[in-house]
Amino acid sequence: MEILSENRSHGGRQLVVKHASAATGTKMTFSIFLPPQAESGPCPVVWYLSGLTCSHANVTEKGEYRAACAEHGLIFVAPDTSPRGEEVPDGEGYDFGKGAGFYVDATQAPWSQHFHMWTYVTQELPALIAAEYPVDMGRQAITGHSMGGHGALTVALRHPDRFRSVSAFAPIVAPSQVPWGQKALGGYLGNDRAAWRKHDAVALIEDGARVPELLVDVGTADNFLEQELRPALLERACADAGIALTLNRREGYDHSYYFISTFMADHLAWHAERLRA
């Protein structure tokens, strides 16, 4: 692994790290914040999955999570959203290809050679983090934004015993039913809609996947709210399944990191309560 940068912050250390990924066949970059408590022993970890067009850098530079992580003793890990490099194919538009891996393992050419983000975020990166850093892997939480909120929900629903808590900011809750998701799932996974259901939070809940509770924040001024995010579909699925959903509709907030950073500390405090030993 290559440490690209290291900065002291809130008594802890903020690292940006590059490594060779077997899952994607490329170099991958992630950021990790180690709170001061990590110097004394293993700490719980919060995984953060980013949205369309983003990399690890967006939340690292604009997410305003370090003070809360230092307060609660949380390690915070933010991977990239897709493989990168000249050898990696790209799609048309911002919502497919580089920066838009949708946290799936692509089965369709040419994407299937490198776009294995599901394996990367659920297997390879956790194993690397567990081996290299003082993480208590028995205390894990996951969150994310937009496409990354979709990723956080689907990863948690398919690994309910791994995560003590899951939350999301403005998630794409039903990608099978919205343009962003239909483009991505069709392009990466082909036309078999049964394969899409494993990467659709609402469909997973309809098919029997369960977590005890969910925390979701959306902004009422989010331009993507009605066409792409559709939180009411998650609200209905959780009600039918008996999943305790806290859905905060934040008046006047949009889809940006101004929104995310405002409520990041609330989410981290919520996770910290559930991650206590």
pLDDT along the chain (277 residues), means of 10: 97 98 98 98 98 98 98 98 96 96 98 98 98 98 98 98 98 98 98 96 98 98 98 98 98 98 98 94
Which residue in the list 50, 56, 222, 267 is annotated as catalytic?
222
In the annotation, is 176 catalytic? no
- The domain of 95 spans 2-276
CA distance 149 to 162: 17
List, in order, residues 6 or more apart from 55 with CB less than 8 Å away. 29, 80, 81, 99
Which residue in the list 55, 82, 146, 165 is annotated as catalytic?
146
Which residue in the list 114, 145, 150, 255 is annotated as catalytic?
255
Structurally, how many domains does the chain consist of?
1
In the annotation, is 199 catalytic? no
- Strand spans (E) along 50-205: 75-79, 135-144, 165-169
Contact criterion met (CB below 8 Å) for 3 and 34? no
Other CB atoms within 10 A of residue 106 CB: 22
Query: Quick check: helix, strand or coil at residue 224?
Result: coil
Confidence (pLDDT) at 53:
98
pTM of structure: 0.98
User: What CATH number did the domain enclosing 37 receive?
Assistant: 3.40.50.1820
Q: Which of 122, 182, 193, 190 is nearest to 152 (CA)?
A: 122
CA distance 186 to 176: 9
In the annotation, is 255 catalytic? yes
Confidence (pLDDT) at 105:
98
**Which of the 8 DSSP states describes residue 72?**
H
Confidence (pLDDT) at 67:
98
